[in-house]
Amino acid sequence: MVVDAARLWTLNHRLLTVVLDACTDELAELGLETKEFFVLAEVAASPYPAELAAKLVISKASMTGYVRNLVAKGFLRREIDDADLRRQRLVLTTEGVTARDKALAALAAGFDRRLARITPADRSELQRILLALLEPAN
Amino acid sequence: MVVDAARLWTLNHRLLTVVLDACTDELAELGLETKEFFVLAEVAASPYPAELAAKLVISKASMTGYVRNLVAKGFLRREIDDADLRRQRLVLTTEGVTARDKALAALAAGFDRRLARITPADRSELQRILLALLEPAN
DNA sequence: ACGTACTAGTTCGGTCTCGAACTATCTCAG
DNA sequence: CTGAGATAGTTCGAGACCGAACTAGTACGT
């Protein structure tokens, strides 16, 4: 049976939206806006603002604001990149790591309720396939 | 290997975002903003603004604007609900149906372009797993 | 009947996000 | 060297989106 890709996309999108919406309050208690959370979650993998903006599909302009807020909140620190003075390497503070991990745990808890419906084997299958889908174009 | 639910959510979210972003231009050519497209795609299933807003997890205030635009563009028509004069039943026009179907096709094509990167076997795996996650809850 | 509580949709003001233009820095061909 | 073109990050003005308050209509207990 072939399922329409658009329908799959739409349902999937709704699922993620609902899960995220359910976590918004918990994130706020940690002192994180939704988008700031995305930034915090990925900054270790992509420490430069421009790179991070591209990965998260948001503008550099927005990234400037999120980084400013996260620095002000003490979750992030800017370090000068000696190799390229245009760039600033973003580093998680101890508080940043703590907040990120708590936030990820909150999201995981929300999504886990859904994931309980599939087997652990299917979970790693899903992760493998999603990674393959994202791989080439990051 | 244990798979983190938050990671799964994040990967999935990024995939959907990238796919949608790639379709934005095509939607614009059809005369549709992204959010307007979501509305158009669901209005047949949920013809009342408040109901639609809840399903798409957007505010009634935003819905007011989207409906106004879609009516102005000739994709939607408001009909009075005789049973409840507070409500307005939203009806797709012929143009609305056409635009919606083209837009859904564009999204499906965009998603398919991604799906082409993985094997057919993985594709049906993905579909099976996502359907298991999505099926029961709307 | 009617008043109280509820629901549908709109309006308004403020915040979020973006594209475009800008500054500072890097790269590299000549 | 050096200057033309590319890239990192910021600022600024405009439009998108939301919460709260509002208007209009419904539901129902008494």
Question: Which nucleotide has its C1' atom closest to residue A35's CA?
Answer: C16
Determine which helix (DSSP H) or strand (DSSP E) holds B91, and give its type and residue range: strand B88-92
Q: Where in the sequence is the domain holding B46, given as residue range(s)?
A: 5-130
Residue type, B38: F
Read off the tokens for B52: 């639609």
**pLDDT band for position B92 (50/70/90)?**
very high
Chain B residues closer than 8 Å to A111 by CB: 5-6, 8-9
Q: Is residue B15 a part of any domain in this protein? A: yes
Q: Is residue B135 a part of any domain in this protein? A: no
> Quick one: average pLDDT of A75-95?
93
Number of inter-chain CB pairs under 8 A, A vs B: 139
- A44 Cα to chain B: minimum distance (Å): 14
Read off the tokens for B102: 């083209």
Of A10, A18, A127, the CB nearest to B7: A127
Proximity of residue A88 CB to strand D below 7 A: yes
> Quick one: average pLDDT of A27-32?
93
Q: Is residue B136 a part of any domain in this protein? A: no
Q: What is the mean pLDDT of chain B?
A: 91
Residue B120 region, left (φ>0) first, then alpha (ψ -120 to 50), else beta?
Answer: alpha
Longest dimension (CA), chain B: 58
Q: Would you tell me the crossing angle of helices A34-42 and A5-29 to the nearest 10 degrees?
A: 100
Would you state the torsion angle of the CA atoms of residues B46, A8, A12, B92, taken in this order, to the nearest 10 degrees? Answer: -20
Proximity of residue A85 CB to strand D below 7 A: no
The DSSP line for A92-114 is E-HHHHHHHHHHHHHHHHHHHHH
Q: Please write the tens of the pLDDT for every residue from B27-53.
A: 999 999 999 999 999 999 999 999 999
Question: Tell me, what's the pLDDT at B136?
Answer: 59
Q: Is residue B63 a part of any domain in this protein? A: yes
Query: Could you give the C-alpha distances from A109 to A41, A105, B15, B129, in angstroms and in order?
Result: 16, 6, 21, 19
Judged by DSSP in three states, B46 sits in coil
Query: Could you give the C-alpha distances from B115 to B62, B72, B96, B111, in angstroms and in order?
Result: 32, 36, 28, 6
The tally of CA atoms less than 13 A away on the side-chain side of residue B42 is 26
Residue in chain A nearest B113 by alpha carbon? A133
Q: What is the CATH number of the domain that holds B65?
A: 1.10.10.10
Best residue in B4, B20, B138 for a mutation probing chain A (most A CBs within 10 Å): B4
- Is the pLDDT score of A137 beyond 80? no
* Number of domains making up chain A: 1
- B129 Cα to chain A: minimum distance (Å): 7
- Which DSSP category does B88 fall into? E
State how far the Cα of B94 lies from the Cα of B89, in Å rounded to an integer.
16
**pLDDT band for position A3 (50/70/90)?**
low
- Is the pLDDT score of A110 beyond 60? yes
Is B18 in contact with A137 (Cβ distance < 8 A)? yes
Q: Is B22 on the interface with A (CB under 8 A)?
A: no
State how far the Cα of A131 lies from the Cα of A64, in Å rounded to an integer.
28
The 10 Å Cβ neighbour count of residue A88 is: 17
> Quick one: average pLDDT of A94-103?
96
Question: Tell me, what's the pLDDT at A1?
Answer: 47
Q: Please write the tens of the pLDDT for every residue from B101-134.
A: 999 999 999 999 888 888 888 888 888 888 888 7
Proximity of residue B47 CB to strand C below 7 A: no
Does the global pTM surpass 0.75?
A: yes
Residues A102 and A23 sit within 8 Å (Cβ to Cβ): no
Judged by DSSP in three states, A76 sits in strand
Question: Tell me, what's the pLDDT at A4?
Answer: 82
Chain B residues closer than 8 Å to A136 by CB: 117
Read off the tokens for A58: 């948001």
Chain A residues closer than 8 Å to B136 by CB: 117
- Is the pLDDT score of A2 beyond 60? no
Q: Is B50 on the interface with A (CB under 8 A)?
A: no
Q: What is the mean pLDDT of chain A?
A: 90
**pLDDT band for position B138 (50/70/90)?**
very low
Proximity of residue A12 CB to strand D below 7 A: no
**pLDDT band for position A138 (50/70/90)?**
very low
Question: Tell me, what's the pLDDT at B16?
Answer: 94
Chain B residues closer than 8 Å to A100 by CB: none
Read off the tokens for A105: 């745990």
Distance A66 CA to D4 C1' (A): 33
Residue in chain A nearest B8 by alpha carbon? A127
